[in-house]
Amino acid sequence: MSEIKNIISEWQGIMIDRDGWNALYLENHDQSRSVSRWGSDLPQFRVACAKMFATFMALQSGTVFIYQGQELGMINLSRERDIGEYRDLETLDRWKEVTERYPRDKRYHEITLEEFQKKSRDHARTPMQWDTTSHAGSSTAEPWQRVNSTYRTCNAAAQVGVSDSVFEFWASILKLRKSHKDVFVYGDFELVDAANEHVFAYIRTSEAREVVLVASNFRTHEAELCLPESWKLRKDGLLISNFGDLIVRSGGVVTLRPFEEFACLVEK
């Protein structure tokens, strides 16, 4: 967490101060799915986690890039998928090297397969999940790679226009970004509670001194965020949240539930 905070804080500051512009992305054709890689794709966490990453990224300064399926919360391939079904040459070449150099080291084989399940480029290269029809509605022909087995529950048809879905949350966060562009697009960026190893929090401040706190819990457990005592989260200022409310204790301590995120107006 400390490393990602340093990187993002540096780039947000450099681009704002030097009249530059960031490209904001978490997924592309060479990256595995962010929910699986950096969060949790367990059924009880997937939706909240996908929404958390949306808020974490989309309210920073720069141009937002959303990779196909990210707006649905698509996840990595199943752990049960056999290595023989992978198509990524980088993955296959590495597997060949490991098995040829260490043919009897079964534990090393297991570790390597676990790493593939987290990081292989194939996770982002399965057919787009449009609906529950053959090949997830992506093609009437046999695709180059078998569709992710999650397509039956995670697909566009099941989310577009459906309240509380990951897709509609993405629509809301982009609408919020556009309606408050002086803050989220062009405002200043500052980390909050920088030493916190569970919560990534920052404030965006416009030239008109409108201040918004953005907080994201990256963990599968509750985490606390400590705010300066002089700060007050406005009761009418909750702009977006995947839980719909906030747990604020005395002394400026906010308790965030697993993968909870929010953006809230602040009085300083």
What burial class does residue 129 get, using C-beta atoms within 10 Å of its C-beta: 0-12 exposed, 13-18 middle, 19+ buried? buried
What burial class does residue 30 get, using C-beta atoms within 10 Å of its C-beta: 0-12 exposed, 13-18 middle, 19+ buried? exposed
Structure tokens of 51?
Answer: 């929404």
Query: Residue 249: pLDDT band by 50, 70, 90 thresholds?
Result: confident
Structure tokens of 86?
Answer: 């992978």
Longest dimension (CA), the chain: 65
Query: Residue 251: pLDDT band by 50, 70, 90 thresholds?
Result: confident
Whole-number pLDDT of residue 250: 81
Structure tokens of 222?
Answer: 């509750």
Condensed to tens digits (0 to 9), the pLDDT of residues 44-99 reads: 999 999 999 999 999 999 999 999 999 999 999 998 899 999 999 999 999 999 99
Angle of helix 89-101 versus helix 106-119 axis, rounded to 10: 170
Structure tokens of 192?
Answer: 């909050």
Look-up of token digits 């060479």: 30
Query: How much is the average pLDDT of 248-266?
Result: 94
Q: Give the Cα separation of 230 and 40 in Å (integer).
A: 34
Residue ranges with strand state E in the chain: 23-24, 63-64, 188-192, 199-205, 211-217, 223-226, 232-241, 247-249, 253-256, 261-267
Backbone angles phi, psi at 87, to 5 degrees: -120, -15
Cα 171–240–266 angle (5° rounding)?
Answer: 140
In contact, 185 and 165? CB cutoff 8 Å: no
Query: How much is the average pLDDT of 238-250?
Result: 93
Cα 179–184–185 angle (5° rounding)?
Answer: 90
DSSP 8-state assignment for residue 70: G
What's the whole-number average pLDDT of the chain?
A: 96
Query: How much is the average pLDDT of 246-256?
Result: 91
Condensed to tens digits (0 to 9), the pLDDT of residues 3-35 reads: 999 999 999 998 888 889 999 999 999 999 999
Whole-number pLDDT of residue 19: 86
Condensed to tens digits (0 to 9), the pLDDT of residues 144-187 reads: 999 999 999 999 999 999 999 999 999 999 999 999 999 999 99
Q: List C-alpha distances in Å: 118 to 74, 163, 226, 258.
A: 14, 30, 32, 21
What lies within 8 Å, CB to CB, of 256 at 6+ separation is 199, 215, 217, 222, 223, 224, 225, 247
Higher-pLDDT residue of 19, 106: 106
Q: Give the Cα separation of 110 and 124 in Å (integer).
A: 22
Whole-number pLDDT of residue 268: 86
Amino acid (1-letter code) at residue 260: E
Query: Residue 229: pLDDT band by 50, 70, 90 thresholds?
Result: confident
Whole-number pLDDT of residue 201: 98
